[in-house]
């Protein structure tokens, strides 16, 4: 009996210690609200560009997925260096800055680098990038989730049966890296299946490049892959997660990949309900619709979802 009591007490102490450690661990959220206030979107975009450039960032693309919303895609030496050192690090070679008008105020927000570094399993934590973004754009609040630890993010998936980071879609396979790049450039330039190019970042020292992709679908048949449609269903809270967009295609060697949308969307909206109003159920057809559009743009054929 004494042994049993001691074991129970020891288990309780271990559980208490584990809970305390978890409580001390920083919980990360996918987005940071830099500032909000009166003004025009165009003016805020130009101010953001100036501030970002002053703090060492390069704006590699601009995307306006719907009225009163503009997204700036930025990179810098630290982001590209970390991408080069990380396996399939191209997915984390950029950060996204959004300027969104919500009623009478304009919100300037951006992806949180430390969150993205962990969810994309990158080598470095990108804290330096986070500091520079905060200096450029402000740091009023973090939002987009209740919060996940770095450990949780590095093995993140939405729920049982859903994809992890290392279970992407293989969009296409070409004869060489050069042929893969050529095919993606051509597909996006032609607007295949409603996909078009927003930016391209070449990862230094390796045969890898990441493309930002805008998705535009018209009519009921193609609406599920449309950026505006998807965001209208899931980005419903007062503080907007516009910086979720755009999607990425990664050319790595002679293959072209994309993170499957059940992972890519959930990584930005981890607290979104499975069912009900403004839930994943409302966009149930979107992951496959997005995958098929990206397959077409990459010059690929229908493929099963594949690991690296």
pLDDT of residue 2: 45
Domain extent for 252: 31-297
pLDDT of residue 6: 45
In a domain, 6, yes or no: no
In a domain, 100, yes or no: yes
Look over the chain and give the mean of its residue pLDDT values, rounded to a whole number.
92
Please answer whether residues 194 and 219 qualify as being in contact, where contact means their C-beta atoms are separated by less than 8 angstroms: no
In a domain, 260, yes or no: yes
Six-digit token string for 261: 């949308």
Compute the C-alpha angle 219/222/225, nearest 5°: 130
How many domains does the chain contain in total?
Answer: 1
Kindly report the number of other CB atoms within 10 A of residue 36's CB atom.
19
- What b/e sequence results for 240-274 when a residue is b if at least 16 CB atoms lie within 10 Å of its CB, and e otherwise? bbbbbbbbbbbbbebbbbbbbbbbbbbbbbbebee
Q: What is the mean pLDDT of residues 178-196?
A: 98
pTM for this model (two decimals)? 0.90
pLDDT of residue 305: 54
The CATH number of whichever domain residue 41 belongs to comes to 3.30.310.70
pLDDT of residue 307: 61
What does the pLDDT look like over 69-115, one tens digit per residue? 999 999 999 999 999 999 999 999 999 999 999 999 999 999 999 99
Task: Give 13's pLDDT tier (boundaries 50, 70, 90).
Answer: very low
φ/ψ bin of 63: left (φ > 0), alpha (ψ from -120 to 50), beta (otherwise): beta
The answer on pLDDT for 10 being more than 50 is: no
In a domain, 169, yes or no: yes
What does the pLDDT look like over 107-157, one tens digit per residue? 999 999 999 999 999 999 999 999 999 999 999 999 999 999 999 999 999
In a domain, 16, yes or no: no
Surface-to-core class of residue 278, CB atoms within 10 Å of its CB (0-12 exposed, 13-18 middle, 19+ buried): middle
Compute the C-alpha angle 198/157/133, nearest 5°: 45
Please answer whether residues 74 and 58 qualify as being in contact, where contact means their C-beta atoms are separated by less than 8 angstroms: yes
Q: What is the mean pLDDT of residues 172-179?
A: 98
In a domain, 82, yes or no: yes
In a domain, 279, yes or no: yes
What does the pLDDT look like over 38-67, one tens digit per residue? 999 999 999 999 999 999 999 999 999 999
In a domain, 252, yes or no: yes
What does the pLDDT look like over 254-274, one tens digit per residue? 999 999 999 999 999 999 999
Task: Give 221's pLDDT tier (boundaries 50, 70, 90).
Answer: confident
């Amino acid at each position: 009996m004494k042994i049993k009591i001691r074991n129970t007490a020891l288990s309780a102490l271990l559980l208490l210690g584990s809970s305390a450690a978890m409580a001390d661990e920083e919980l990360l959220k996918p987005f940071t609200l830099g500032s909000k206030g009166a003004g025009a979107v165009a003016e805020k975009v130009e101010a953001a560009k100036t501030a970002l450039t002053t703090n060492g960032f390069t704006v590699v693309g601009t995307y306006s997925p719907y009225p009163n919303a503009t997204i700036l895609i930025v990179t810098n030496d630290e982001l590209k260096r970390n991408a080069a050192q990380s396996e399939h690090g191209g997915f984390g070679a950029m950060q996204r800055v959004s300027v969104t008008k919500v009623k009478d105020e304009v919100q300037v927000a951006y992806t949180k680098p430390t969150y993205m570094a962990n969810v994309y399993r990158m080598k470095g934590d990108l804290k330096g990038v986070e500091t520079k973004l905060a200096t450029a754009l402000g740091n009023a609040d973090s939002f987009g989730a209740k919060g996940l630890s770095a450990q949780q993010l590095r093995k993140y998936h939405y729920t049982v049966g859903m994809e992890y980071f290392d279970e992407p879609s293989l969009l296409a396979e070409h004869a060489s890296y050069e042929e893969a790049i050529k095919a993606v450039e051509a597909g996006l330039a032609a607007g295949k299946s409603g996909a078009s190019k927003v930016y391209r970042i070449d990862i230094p020292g390796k045969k890898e490049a990441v493309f930002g992709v805008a998705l535009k679908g018209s009519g009921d048949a193609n609406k599920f892959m449309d950026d505006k449609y998807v965001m209208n269903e899931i980005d419903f809270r007062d503080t907007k997660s516009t910086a979720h967009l755009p999607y990425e295609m990664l050319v790595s060697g002679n293959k072209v990949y994309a993170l499957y949308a059940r992972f890519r969307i959930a990584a930005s909206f981890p607290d979104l309900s499975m069912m009900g109003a403004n839930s994943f159920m409302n966009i149930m057809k979107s992951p496959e619709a997005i995958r098929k559009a990206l397959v077409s743009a990459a010059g690929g054929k229908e493929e099963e979802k594949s690991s690296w």
